[in-house]
């Protein structure tokens, strides 16, 4: 935020100097460029915001109302389409007839186009590409990470075309772009790709040349070999963050709720919008399950100290949440409670561990071998407990660990995470959390507090997850 204000201040100073020197040509030029540098926005609309013709019209009206801020628009696939593409590919890999699924995907997009008064054939070339990929899967009789990223790319490749055509029909010249055609080149880490270091420069260069409102695919990129990659499920938020960072812009994440809230409003009826939240708090919440924001979204903004906003496309006048480096002090010690489900808890016990140096290194090298990231960790002298969120390679990891210690894996667990910078200076928060949980007969299997002291996380059985979040929300927000 500070940098943002400095930029404004710096431009204002130049403008004043030029105004004094009455060099009007230069003055006009600087005015034009300052305008662009200061207030450009990247607006990302998620699946539910582009779920049907009415929603897409709503999105285009929001974009139209913001033309002065030179919007670059990022969109997700139409709601439910990414799941459907994955499901179709998996069925095809098993040799099943998928003509019904293919027809449903086609019909969904054609219906939207028809209702918008646009040519339904607009998405047909992209659909043809999808059919070819499905044919390949039929022949292969299996899928792999690379082809699954290609499969998932088709949703966004269709939605950008629809949104751009709708906006153009409203009188705003617009064009749909695949992110890789405007510079999004990534590592070949399928399903978890990262932009290459020069990606920001490439994006800046490509977008600055455009004379239309660009509608860019979220979620996807290409590696240097030309294969399609994805940034991970929910990754359109990250695409917007990357483009926002590249353009020194404000990133706006437009979704289906009024910003980042004190809890998931689907779980807690009385959840409230948080006006302002810090980068650190937002990161913790996103990482521990607040789906409203992909955990990596704010990385580029943190590096450049640019604000990120979370807004509601169903209620565009609501001010939502602003995420900044340092949030203003609030009277609430706790900002929010997040919950991440389907967690696997791995307990590793070894009596030999006592004083044995190098033991933890050996344990972690097993996770390293499978590129498995660990969410939470707690140690005692004879045991280490840690959690992972995906079951891929879990059996192999267990086997490898069996060689060095006794291992037990518990699945179907949940992490509950209480977040707030105010916790640093307020004693007794842990006491309040665990008393409230205990009173409700929910048993805790592991506890962890990060070194930053802005979160307290604990593991419980998945069946108690919603109740735990509701109990804690009541304890801290009434
Ligand atoms: P989009 O399609 O816009 O990307 P998502 O479904 O990915 O939207 O994220 C929005 C959803 O995140 C909300 O509908 C809400 O149920 C969920 N959510 C979870 N935790 C929170 C939270 N703390 N604040 C707001 N929304 C949350
Ligand atoms: N369409 C992708 C998904 O469903 C990316 C996103 O929506 O952010 O995960
Ligand atoms: Mg999302």
User: What CATH number does residue 460 fall under?
Assistant: 3.30.2130.10
Looking at all shown ligands, the one closest to residue 47's CA atom is 1
Question: So what's the pLDDT on residue 35?
Answer: 39
Query: What are the beta bridge partners of residue 343?
Result: 413
**Which atom of ligand 1 is least distant from the CA of 259?**
25
Quick check: is 280 in a domain? no
Question: What is the Cα–Cα distance from 355 to 276, expressed in whole angstroms?
Answer: 46
Quick check: is 124 in a domain? yes
Q: For residue 246, which of 258, 238, 257 has the smallest C-alpha distance?
A: 238
**Which atom of ligand 1 is least distant from the CA of 274?**
24
Residues 140 and 212 in one domain: yes
Contact, 415 vs 339, CB < 8 A? yes
Residues 72 and 145 in one domain: yes
Establish whether residue 51 lines the binding site of ligand 2, counting it when its CB lies within 6 angstroms of any ligand atom: no
Of the residues 256, 279, 305, the one at which a domain ends: 256
Residues 462 and 361 in one domain: yes
**Which atom of ligand 2 is least distant from the CA of 155?**
1
Of the residues 212, 231, 256, the one at which a domain ends: 256
Show the tokens assigned to 127.
Answer: 């659909």
Residues 446 and 347 in one domain: yes
Residues 209 and 72 in one domain: yes
Pocket test for ligand 2, best of 45, 51, 76 (most atoms within 8 A of CB): 76
Name the closest-CA residue to atom 8, ligand 2: 234
Question: So what's the pLDDT on residue 258?
Answer: 98
Looking at all shown ligands, the one closest to residue 340's CA atom is 1
**Which atom of ligand 1 is least distant from the CA of 236?**
4
Residues 162 and 241 in one domain: yes
User: What's the chain look like in SS3?
Assistant: CHHHHHHHHHHHHHHHHHHHCCCHHHHHHHHHHHHHHHHCEEEEECHHHHCCHHHHHHHHHHHHCCHHHCCEEEECCCCCHHHHHHHHHHHHHCCCCCHHHHHHHHHHHHHHHHHCCCCHHHHHHHHHHHHHHHHHHHHHCCCCHHHHHHHHHHHHHHHHHHHHHHHHHCCCCEEEECHHHHCCEECCCCCCCCECCCHHHHHHHHHHCCCCEEEEECCEEEECCCCEEECCCCCHHHHHHHHHHHCCCEEEEEECCCCCECCCCCCCCCCCECCEEEHHHHHHHHHCCCCCCCCCCCHHHHHHCCCEEEEECCCCCCCCEEEECCCCCCCCCCCEEEEEEEEEEEEEECHHHCCCCCHHHHHHHHHHHCCCCCCCEEECCCEEEEEECCCCCHHHHHHHHHCCCEEEEEEEEEEEEEECHHHHHCCCHHHHHHHHHHHCCCCEEEEEECCCCCEEEEEEEHHHHHHHHHHHHHHHHC
Show the tokens assigned to 272.
Answer: 């409230």
Question: So what's the pLDDT on residue 354?
Answer: 60
Angle formed at CA 388 by CA 384 and CA 389, multiple of 5 degrees: 160
Output the CA 38–ligand 1 centroid distance in Å.
29
Question: So what's the pLDDT on residue 391?
Answer: 86
- Pairing between β-strand 321-324 and β-strand 185-186 as defined by DSSP bridges: unpaired
Question: So what's the pLDDT on residue 1?
Answer: 37
Contact, 378 vs 385, CB < 8 A? yes
Contact, 460 vs 443, CB < 8 A? yes
**Which atom of ligand 1 is least distant from the CA of 47?**
2
Residues 132 and 20 in one domain: no
Output the CA 286–ligand 3 centroid distance in Å.
11
Q: For residue 41, how many other CB atoms are within 10 A of its CB?
A: 20
Domain count for the chain: 3
Quick check: is 297 in a domain? no
Token pair 């499901």 is found at 87
Residues 129 and 149 in one domain: yes
Quick check: is 157 in a domain? yes
Q: For residue 313, which of 52, 72, 44 has the smallest C-alpha distance?
A: 44
Output the CA 313–ligand 2 centroid distance in Å.
16
Pocket test for ligand 1, best of 255, 261, 268, 337 (most atoms within 8 A of CB): 255
**Which atom of ligand 1 is least distant from the CA of 337?**
23
Question: So what's the pLDDT on residue 371?
Answer: 87
Of the residues 239, 256, 273, the one at which a domain ends: 256
Ion ligand 3 — residues with CB under 5 Å? Answer: 46, 234
Residues with CB under 6 A from ligand 1: 46-49, 76, 234, 255-257, 260-261, 263-266, 285, 290-292, 336
The sign of the dihedral angle between the CA atoms of 335, 339, 343, 346 is positive
Mean pLDDT by 10 residues, the chain (478 residues): 40 42 45 50 97 98 97 98 98 98 98 98 98 98 97 98 98 98 98 97 97 98 98 98 97 98 98 96 95 96 96 98 86 92 94 73 91 89 89 92 90 97 90 97 93 91 98 96
Question: So what's the pLDDT on residue 353?
Answer: 66
Question: So what's the pLDDT on residue 390?
Answer: 86
Quick check: is 212 in a domain? yes
Contact, 83 vs 91, CB < 8 A? no
Assessment of whether the complete model's pTM goes beyond 0.95: no
Quick check: is 318 in a domain? no
The CATH number linked to 143 is 3.40.1160.10
Contact, 203 vs 219, CB < 8 A? no
Quick check: is 290 in a domain? no
Establish whether residue 233 lines the binding site of ligand 2, counting it when its CB lies within 6 angstroms of any ligand atom: yes
**Which atom of ligand 1 is least distant from the CA of 237?**
4
Output the CA 109–ligand 3 centroid distance in Å.
20
Establish whether residue 77 lines the binding site of ligand 2, counting it when its CB lies within 6 angstroms of any ligand atom: yes
Residues 6 and 51 in one domain: no
Residue-range definition of the domain harbouring residue 468:
336-477
Residues 13 and 137 in one domain: no
Residues 28 and 114 in one domain: no
Question: So what's the pLDDT on residue 452?
Answer: 79
Contact, 298 vs 241, CB < 8 A? yes
Looking at all shown ligands, the one closest to residue 76's CA atom is 2
Looking at all shown ligands, the one closest to residue 260's CA atom is 1
Quick check: is 270 in a domain? no
Establish whether residue 236 lines the binding site of ligand 2, counting it when its CB lies within 6 angstroms of any ligand atom: yes
Residues 182 and 51 in one domain: yes
């Amino acid at each position: 935020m500070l940098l943002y204000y400095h930029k404004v201040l710096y431009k204002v100073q130049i403008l004043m100097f030029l105004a004094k020197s009455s060099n009007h040509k230069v003055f006009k030029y600087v005015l034009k460029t300052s305008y662009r540098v200061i207030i450009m926005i990247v607006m990302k609309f998620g699946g539910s915001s582009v779920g049907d013709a009415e929603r897409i019209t709503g999105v285009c009206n929001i974009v139209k109302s913001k033309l002065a801020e030179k919007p670059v628009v990022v969109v997700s696939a139409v709601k439910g389409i990414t799941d459907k593409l994955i499901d179709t590919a998996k069925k095809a890999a098993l040799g099943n007839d998928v003509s019904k699924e293919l027809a449903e995907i086609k019909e969904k997009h054609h219906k939207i186009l028809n209702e918008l008064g646009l040519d339904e054939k607009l998405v047909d070339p992209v659909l043809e590409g999808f059919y070819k990929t499905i044919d390949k899967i039929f022949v292969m009789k299996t899928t792999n990470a690379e082809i699954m990223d290609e499969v998932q790319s088709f949703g966004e490749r269709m939605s950008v075309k629809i949104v751009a055509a709708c906006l153009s029909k409203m009188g705003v010249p617009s064009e749909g772009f695949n992110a890789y055609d405007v510079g999004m080149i990534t590592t070949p880490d399928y399903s978890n790709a990262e932009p290459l270091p020069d990606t920001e420069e490439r994006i800046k260069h490509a977008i600055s040349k455009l004379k239309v409102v660009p509608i860019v695919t979220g979620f996807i990129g290409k590696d240097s070999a030309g294969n399609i990659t994805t940034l991970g499920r929910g990754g359109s938020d990250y695409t917007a963050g990357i483009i926002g960072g590249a353009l020194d812009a404000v990133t706006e994440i437009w979704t289906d709720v009024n910003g980042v809230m004190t809890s998931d409003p689907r779980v807690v009826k009385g959840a409230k919008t948080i006006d302002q939240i810090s980068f650190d708090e937002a990161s913790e919440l996103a990482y521990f399950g607040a789906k409203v924001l992909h955990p990596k979204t704010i990385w580029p903004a943190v590096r450049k100290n640019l604000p990120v906003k979370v807004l509601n496309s169903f209620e565009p006048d609501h001010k939502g949440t602003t995420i900044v480096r340092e949030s203003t002090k609030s009277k609430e010690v706790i900002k929010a409670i997040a919950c991440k489900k389907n967690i696997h808890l791995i307990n590793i016990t070894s009596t030999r561990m006592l004083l044995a140096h190098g033991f933890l290194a050996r344990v972690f090298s097993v996770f390293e071998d499978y590129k498995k990231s660990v969410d939470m960790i707690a140690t005692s002298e004879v045991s280490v407990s840690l959690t992972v969120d995906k079951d891929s390679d879990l059996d192999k990891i267990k086997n490898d660990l069996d060689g060095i210690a006794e291992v037990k894996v518990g699945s179907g667990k949940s992490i509950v995470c209480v977040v707030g910078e105010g916790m640093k200076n307020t004693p007794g928060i842990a006491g309040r959390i665990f008393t409230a949980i205990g009173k409700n007969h929910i048993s805790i299997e592991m506890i962890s507090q990060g070194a930053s002291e802005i979160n307290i996380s604990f593991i419980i059985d998945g069946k108690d997850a919603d109740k735990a979040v509701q109990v804690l929300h009541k304890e801290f927000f009434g």
